[in-house]
């Protein structure tokens, strides 16, 4: 597919930067675990004295103290979810609006192709990039966990499950980004939108934890795939996962419908 | 001046949205404070967790006090204000090229210098306004707990620290927009720096070994724990002012000589 | 077969009228002109043909297929040259042309070479570094490289120097001779006059008239310009005369009818100069622009 190849080529540097940045950051964070483990061995006992709300604020569960490898990993993975969200949102907001913003719509949309083909090709290119980032995170995580585990006995099963959540997490942001981009007249600055979506939903998650308000959890993927929860329980929350899939399906469906109907105006 | 008026108007909507959002979050978060207030068991438990909280730049001396709790929530000020400042700085400079109005504006009988001065004034002003509104919002949110003077002192210091950080990111964003040939990347670049600075800031908290890196992350200059103690490090003030001044000077130098393409 | 059939095409942008009840056909092999003042609805009509925008009501059929429902098929045979050219950042000309060609079923490399040579287009430069006129050339090559059966031109020559304009017209005429249909939207009436068989005039969103260009000029009107003394006697105000402008020393008008009547009036006058011409399309149509 020519559009797919073209779009993928345009994403080349983005793929490189994001995959390196996120996976190296994760690796770096984990590299400090040995230092932490040494300093904070007293954590464990103290964690028991804590009110759940406070721990929740940091995304920590008493069952998974930060002094353990996985506890620390849950914290750092939680932080990595932010740039993952921002990258996915970026793609979502950018992919369809760019043609109108850069005024190349007259060129591309007057070619003998359907709007659907454009949508699918662009999405696949973005998804390829997101998958490469996803893979690099898998590699960085597993490598780091093995290298820096110290004395811990490594049980990777739950880690695999957590890592598998990345793809749904990304698709949520791509989907919502795309839907918003075809619903508004013009997006002048993609980055403002993607930052707002990616970071805004993180703040909602923070509030939800502070409030122990589960209602807020419904709208934020940071809650659907909370690292500590998954690492402890070893499975996804069924309700949240269904909501996430629902949002993804609905946003993709609506995007398809709205993009096909969209009027592309001239200057 | 007409340019200042125009810039005030065109950036107003965004400012209002940010103010409303941040003040709302502050007020919402303050409700949770109820659970912590006067809870002495908590306080004792907290002290032993000191190391961890240090890592996140928070001195948990006393979560049962408004100022202690607010310092916990302060990360919801630092990051958004940094993002706002970075985006405003880079976009206010690059928008003339992005919206193709450069051909119009810069062929009018006005020097580039004048245009830039107007933009800097508006950007600084709006950052100050956002800062004050957020701080005011915090006061309004916590006033019902009858906080002590320590709270107001913290707010004051926090406001000062935040404005420095804002101006640092803002001026760097402006500089990038004037230097980078692909002006469109300036927003992404400065935000990457904001994000990276934050991640680094957290990491430094965990690992003292890399403490020397604190100079490259503005979040460390005026962190909440210092603000709570009422400590402002002179060296950081000097560094911040140096960054701000040199970035703005750079802005003027580079933008004057910049080739403006259609 | 009609290359283009437009039936009661109406497009409203909210409450603002883009175009209303547009009806016309373009025969296969024609060069059809489309003129009108700014904001008349030319771009609106053209954009619906390409399904960039969708009609509020009415239909557009291209080579027998509905242009909206079967847009992607229909566009295989269309070459579109928009008035403003924008391409992707940092792309080289040759990269854009190759990408463009990849959308069509046949190999266009030879045609790309041919066209770029004629238009003197440097294939290895970045598009964003080109001047406006040179960008236009990229647009021209891009629109023609797949040898389309229908060529839609939207103000194609703005920005081109006169030599290039002529080369461009020759290209279009060549394509037309090979059987391509051309829809040509322009302000420049002299161009339309030079190239088109028929012309539709659009104003305020409605078609005002559809006329045959040749038939118009042929023995229809003659333009008279007479100079002399004491000319202003209202004597030229007879049937068949239009656009009459009278001054004491100069009279000009259009006349359609029996030329002898005019000759008789002139015979009685003391003239210093007389000019009898065929009016330009401009002069005929200018009143449509008002």
| Contact across the interface for C88 and A105, Cβ inside 8 Å | no
Cα three-residue angle C252-C254-C258, rounded to 5 degrees: 120
Return the pLDDT at C86: 77
Instruction: Find the closest chain B residue to A72 by CA distance.
Output: B206
> Distance between CA A85 and CA C21 in Å, rounded?
48
Q: What percent of chain B has pLDDT over 70?
A: 87
Return the pLDDT at A154: 79
User: Chain B within 8 Å of A105 (Cβ-Cβ)?
Assistant: no
Return the pLDDT at A87: 95
Q: Is the pLDDT of residue B58 over 60?
A: no
pLDDT-derived band at B117 (thresholds 50, 70, 90) equals very high
Instruction: Find the closest chain B residue to A43 by CA distance.
Output: B49
| Contact across the interface for B25 and A207, Cβ inside 8 Å | yes
Contact call for residues B191 and B86 (beta carbons, < 8 A): yes
Q: Is the pLDDT of residue A151 over 80?
A: no
Neighbouring chains of C at 3+ CB pairs under 8 Å are A
**How near does any CA of chain C get to the CA of A261, in Å?**
8
Q: C237: which residues sit within 8 A by CB, 6+ positions away?
A: C244
Q: Is the pLDDT of residue B48 over 60?
A: no
Helices (H) and strands (E) in chain B, counts: 11, 0
Q: Is the pLDDT of residue A202 over 80?
A: yes
| Contact across the interface for A86 and B195, Cβ inside 8 Å | yes
| Contact across the interface for A102 and C86, Cβ inside 8 Å | yes
Count Cβ–Cβ pairs < 8 Å, chain A vs chain C: 66
Q: How buried is residue B145: exposed, middle or buried, by Cβ count under 10 Å (0-12/13-18/19+)? A: middle
A141-150, A183-192, B62-71, range with the lowest pLDDT: B62-71
**How near does any CA of chain A get to the CA of B63, in Å?**
10
Count Cβ–Cβ pairs < 8 Å, chain A vs chain B: 77
| Contact across the interface for A189 and B187, Cβ inside 8 Å | yes
What is the residue whose two structure tokens read 């721990």? A55
* Tokens read off for A25: 């950051």
Residue of B206, B213, B261 for testing the chain A interface, max A β-carbons within 10 Å: B206
Q: Please tell me which residue, A197 or A55, carries the higher pLDDT value.
A: A197
Return the pLDDT at A137: 95
DSSP readout, C211-272?
EEHHHHHTTT-EEEEEEESS--SSTT--TTEEEEEE-SSEEEEEE-S-HHHHHHHHHTS-EE
Which tens digits make up the pLDDT trace of C3-36? 999 999 999 988 888 899 999 999 999 999 998 8
Q: C221: which residues sit within 8 A by CB, 6+ positions away?
A: C254, C255, C256, C278, C279, C284
Residue of A102, A189, A190, A267 for testing the chain B interface, max B β-carbons within 10 Å: A189
User: Chain B within 8 Å of A192 (Cβ-Cβ)?
Assistant: yes
Query: B56: which chain A residues are within 8 Å (Cβ-Cβ)?
Result: 58
Return the pLDDT at C249: 86
Contact call for residues B203 and A28 (beta carbons, < 8 A): yes
Contact call for residues C278 and C213 (beta carbons, < 8 A): no
Helices (H), C102-244: 109-118, 132-144, 162-177, 189-195, 213-217
Q: A204: which residues sit within 8 A by CB, 6+ positions away?
A: A216, A219, A220, A222
Contact call for residues A154 and A111 (beta carbons, < 8 A): no
> Distance between CA A67 and CA A92 in Å, rounded?
37
Q: Is the pLDDT of residue A23 over 60?
A: yes
| Contact across the interface for B31 and A211, Cβ inside 8 Å | yes
User: Chain B within 8 Å of A234 (Cβ-Cβ)?
Assistant: no
Neighbouring chains of B at 3+ CB pairs under 8 Å are A
Sheet holding C78-81, edge to edge: C78-81, C150-154, C181-186, C31-35, C198-203, C206-212
**How near does any CA of chain A get to the CA of C139, in Å?**
9
Return the pLDDT at B46: 60
Return the pLDDT at B112: 87
> Distance between CA C22 and CA C155 in Å, rounded?
20
Q: Among residues B176, B189, C242, which one has the least CA distance to residue A13?
A: B189
| Contact across the interface for C104 and A114, Cβ inside 8 Å | no
Mean pLDDT to the nearest integer, B248-259: 90
Return the pLDDT at B165: 95
Mean pLDDT to the nearest integer, A214-240: 87
Which tens digits make up the pLDDT trace of A38-82? 666 545 544 555 555 555 555 566 667 667 788 888 888 988 999
Neighbouring chains of A at 3+ CB pairs under 8 Å are B, C
Listed as ranges, residues in chain C with pLDDT below 70 are 215-220, 279-290
């Amino acid at each position: 597919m020519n559009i797919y190849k073209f779009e993928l080529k345009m994403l080349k540097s983005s793929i490189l930067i994001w995959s390196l940045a996120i996976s190296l950051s994760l690796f770096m964070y984990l590299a400090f675990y040995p230092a932490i483990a040494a300093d904070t061995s007293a954590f464990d006992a103290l964690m028991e004295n804590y009110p759940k709300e406070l721990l929740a604020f940091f995304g920590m569960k008493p069952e998974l103290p930060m002094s353990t490898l996985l506890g620390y990993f849950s914290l750092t993975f939680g932080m990595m979810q932010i740039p993952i969200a921002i990258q996915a949102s970026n793609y979502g907001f950018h992919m369809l609006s760019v043609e109108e913003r850069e005024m190349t719509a007259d060129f591309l949309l007057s070619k003998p192709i359907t709007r659907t083909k454009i949508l699918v090709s662009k999405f696949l290119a973005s998804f390829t990039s997101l998958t490469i980032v996803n893979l690099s995170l898998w590699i960085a995580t597993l490598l780091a966990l093995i290298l820096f585990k110290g004395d811990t006995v490594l049980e990777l099963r739950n880690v695999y499950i957590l890592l598998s959540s990345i793809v749904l997490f990304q698709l949520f942001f791509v989907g919502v980004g795309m839907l918003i981009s075809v619903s508004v007249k013009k997006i002048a600055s993609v980055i403002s939108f993607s930052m707002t979506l990616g970071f805004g939903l993180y703040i909602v998650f923070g509030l939800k934890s502070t409030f122990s308000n589960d209602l807020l959890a419904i709208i934020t993927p940071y809650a659907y795939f909370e690292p500590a929860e998954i690492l402890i329980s070893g499975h996804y929350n069924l309700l949240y996962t269904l909501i996430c899939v629902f949002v993804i399906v609905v946003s993709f469906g609506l995007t398809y419908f709205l993009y096909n109907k969209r009027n592309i105006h001239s200057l | 001046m007409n340019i200042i008026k125009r810039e005030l108007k065109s950036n107003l909507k965004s400012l209002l949205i940010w103010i409303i959002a941040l003040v709302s979050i502050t007020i919402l978060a303050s409700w949770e404070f109820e659970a912590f207030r006067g809870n002495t068991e908590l306080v004792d438990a907290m002290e032993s967790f000191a190391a961890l909280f240090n890592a996140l730049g928070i001195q948990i001396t006393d979560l049962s006090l408004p100022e202690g709790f607010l310092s916990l929530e302060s990360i919801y000020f630092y990051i958004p204000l940094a993002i706002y400042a970075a985006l405003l700085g880079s976009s206010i400079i690059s928008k003339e090229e992005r919206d193709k109005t450069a051909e119009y504006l810069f062929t009018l009988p006005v020097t580039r210098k004048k245009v830039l001065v107007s933009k800097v004034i508006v950007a600084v002003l709006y950052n100050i306004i956002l800062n004050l509104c957020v701080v005011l919002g915090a006061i309004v949110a916590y006033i019902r707990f009858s906080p002590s003077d320590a709270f107001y002192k913290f707010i004051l210091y926090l406001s000062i620290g935040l404005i420095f950080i804002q101006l640092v990111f803002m001026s760097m964003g402006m500089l990038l927009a004037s230097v980078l040939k692909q002006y469109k990347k300036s927003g992404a670049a400065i935000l990457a720096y904001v994000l990276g600075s934050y991640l680094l800031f957290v990491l430094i908290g965990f690992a003292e070994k890399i403490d020397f890196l604190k100079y490259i992350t503005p979040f460390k200059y005026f962190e909440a724990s210092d603000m709570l103690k009422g400590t402002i490090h002179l060296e950081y003030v000097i560094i911040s002012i140096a960054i701000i001044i040199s970035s703005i000077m750079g802005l003027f130098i580079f933008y004057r000589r910049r080739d403006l393409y259609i | 077969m009609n290359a283009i059939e437009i039936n009661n095409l109406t497009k409203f942008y909210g409450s603002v009228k883009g175009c209303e009840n547009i009806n016309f056909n373009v025969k296969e092999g024609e060069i059809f002109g489309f003129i009108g003042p700014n904001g008349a609805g030319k771009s609106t009509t053209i954009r619906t043909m390409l399904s960039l925008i969708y009609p509020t009501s009415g239909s557009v059929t291209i080579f027998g297929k509905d242009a909206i429902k079967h847009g992607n098929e229909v566009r295989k045979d269309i070459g579109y040259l928009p008035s403003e050219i924008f391409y992707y950042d940092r792309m080289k000309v040759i990269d854009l042309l190759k990408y463009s060609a990849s959308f069509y079923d046949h190999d266009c490399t030879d045609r790309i070479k041919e066209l770029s040579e004629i238009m003197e287009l440097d294939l290895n430069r970045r598009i964003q570094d080109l001047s406006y006129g040179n960008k236009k050339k990229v647009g021209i090559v891009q629109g023609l490289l797949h040898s389309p059966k229908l060529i839609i031109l939207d103000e194609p020559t703005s920005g081109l120097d006169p030599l290039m304009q002529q080369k461009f017209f020759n290209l279009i005429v060549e394509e037309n001779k090979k059987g391509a249909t051309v829809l040509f939207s322009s302000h420049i009436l002299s161009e339309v006059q030079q190239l088109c068989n028929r012309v539709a005039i659009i104003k305020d969103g409605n078609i005002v008239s559809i006329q045959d260009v040749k038939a118009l000029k042929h023995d229809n009107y003659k333009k008279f310009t007479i100079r002399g003394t004491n000319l202003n006697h209202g004597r030229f105000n007879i049937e068949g005369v239009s656009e009459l402008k009278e001054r004491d020393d100069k009279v000009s008008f259009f006349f359609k009818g029996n030329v002898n009547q005019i000759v008789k009036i002139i015979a009685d006058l003391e003239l210093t100069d007389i000019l009898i011409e065929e009016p330009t399309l401009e002069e005929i149509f200018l009143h449509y622009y008002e």
